[in-house]
């Protein structure tokens, strides 16, 4: 025996089945109260369709006015029709829309392919020197005297040659040194690329920039003392238009040698006197 149940009773039967009750009492008066009816309940996909207009009505009116869906599947909700302007733009029309406004920057979504290009810059053949490594200490004294001295790569007597440079400056300028600064210059320094180690033009440019920063506040042409064979040779190898080649210059041994061998100081003093006071 099978019969179609009202939606409310079908839902009640479904809930009872979830609780483990698979039989129920008959509801017809003609049937015996002791008889029970069993069977399979077929429920619609959406027994009570939700209608926005019916939400404001009372539950009794909603149930009385709701047509029975029976065993039919619920009808799909109607799809609202959109105007062509409201529809989502197609991909093939995207570029035309972007190009319509000149203020919009169109970015190409294709991947960027990077190509390695060898750029070879030949060094100037006129710039050449045998000096590839340089370590110097510089002392700018009273905005008039500049001392550039070779120092060993591992050097621990910086304070000693600093005092020696100040004494030499006081003797040459014949006045106390009230204003001075000391610094160090090393080549190649932090460079680790062997290609750049042989670039003489880079070394010349680095040295000229370093000296230019030291003498930028000098009111007149500085006196230049080149102490050591390496710095002397490097300045001689500079191009003729380099400013360092136009300073009054004295060539002596390095300050570290003068500190270790005091007998050399007399010769260095005579060279400086003859260079600056002719």
C-alpha–C-alpha distance, residues 35 and 25, integer Å: 7
Closest CA to 177 of 137, 143, 211, 223: 143
Q: What pLDDT does 105 receive? A: 55
Mark whether 150 and 268 lie in a shared domain: yes
Domain assignment present for 252: yes
Domain assignment present for 39: yes
Mark whether 262 and 143 lie in a shared domain: yes
Domain assignment present for 102: no
| Residues of the domain holding 60 | 7-65
Ramachandran quadrant class, 184 (left: phi over 0; alpha: psi -120 to 50; beta: rest): beta
Torsion 240-242-245-246 (CA) sign: positive
Q: What pLDDT does 33 receive? A: 46
Mark whether 31 and 163 lie in a shared domain: no
Q: Are 165 and 139 contacting, i.e. CB atoms less than 8 angstroms apart?
A: yes
Domain assignment present for 104: no
Counting the structural domains of the chain, the total is 2
pTM score: 0.55
Domain assignment present for 218: yes
Mark whether 140 and 255 lie in a shared domain: yes
Mark whether 145 and 270 lie in a shared domain: yes
Long-range Cβ contacts of 155-162 (<8 Å, 24+ apart):
155/256, 157/256, 157/259, 160/259, 161/137, 161/255, 161/256, 161/258, 161/259, 162/137
Domain assignment present for 175: yes
Domain assignment present for 149: yes
Q: What angle do CA 80, 81, 83 make, to 5 degrees?
A: 140
**DSSP track, 165-223:** HHHHHHHHHTS---SEEEEEEEESTT---HHHHT-HHHHHHHHHHHHHHHSTT-SSPPE
Torsion 249-254-259-265 (CA) sign: negative
3-state secondary structure of 150: strand
Mark whether 152 and 258 lie in a shared domain: yes
Mark whether 56 and 143 lie in a shared domain: no
Mark whether 160 and 272 lie in a shared domain: yes
Last residue of a domain, one of 50, 65, 80: 65
SS (H, E, C) 221-255: CCEEEEECHHHHHHHHCCCCCCHHHHCCEEEECCH
Mark whether 171 and 267 lie in a shared domain: yes
Q: DSSP letter for 81, please.
A: P
C-alpha–C-alpha distance, residues 131 and 228, integer Å: 13
Mark whether 60 and 146 lie in a shared domain: no
Domain assignment present for 186: yes
Q: Are 123 and 199 contacting, i.e. CB atoms less than 8 angstroms apart?
A: yes
Last residue of a domain, one of 15, 50, 65: 65
Mark whether 36 and 147 lie in a shared domain: no
Closest CA to 146 of 183, 191, 107, 197: 183
- pLDDT digits (tens), the chain, 278 positions: 566 777 777 777 777 777 766 665 555 555 554 455 555 666 556 555 555 444 454 555 554 555 555 545 555 666 666 666 555 555 566 666 666 655 555 555 556 666 665 555 555 555 567 777 889 999 999 999 999 999 988 878 889 999 999 999 999 999 998 899 999 999 887 766 767 666 778 888 889 999 999 999 999 999 999 999 999 999 999 988 999 999 999 999 999 999 999 999 999 999 999 999 87
Mark whether 142 and 12 lie in a shared domain: no
């Amino acid at each position: 025996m099978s019969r179609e149940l009202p939606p409310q009773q079908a839902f009640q039967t479904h809930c009872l089945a979830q609780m483990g009750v698979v039989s129920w009492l008959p509801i017809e008066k003609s049937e015996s109260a002791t008889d029970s009816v069993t069977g399979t309940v077929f429920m619609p996909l959406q027994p009570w369709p939700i209608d926005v207009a019916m939400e404001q009505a009372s539950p009794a009116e909603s149930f009385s006015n709701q047509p029975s869906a029976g065993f039919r599947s619920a009808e799909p909700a109607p799809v609202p029709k959109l105007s062509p302007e409201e529809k989502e733009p197609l991909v093939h029309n995207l570029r035309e829309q972007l190009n319509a406004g000149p203020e919009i920057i169109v970015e190409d979504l294709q991947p960027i392919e990077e190509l390695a290009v060898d750029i070879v810059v030949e060094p100037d053949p006129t710039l050449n020197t045998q000096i590839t490594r340089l370590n110097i200490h510089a002392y700018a004294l009273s905005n008039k005297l500049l001392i550039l001295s070779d120092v060993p790569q591992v050097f621990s007597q910086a304070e000693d040659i600093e005092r020696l440079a100040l004494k030499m400056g006081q003797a040459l300028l014949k006045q106390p040194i009230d204003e001075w600064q000391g610094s160090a210059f090393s080549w190649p320094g932090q460079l680790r690329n062997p290609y750049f180690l042989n670039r003489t033009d880079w070394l010349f440019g680095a040295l000229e920039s370093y000296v230019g920063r030291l003498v930028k506040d000098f009111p007149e042409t500085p006196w230049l003392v080149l102490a050591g064979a390496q710095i002397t040779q490097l300045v001689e190898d500079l191009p003729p238009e380099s400013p360092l080649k136009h300073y009054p210059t004295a060539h002596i041994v390095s300050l570290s040698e003068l500190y270790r061998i005091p007998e050399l100081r007399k010769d260095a003093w005579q060279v400086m006197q003859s260079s600056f006071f002719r």
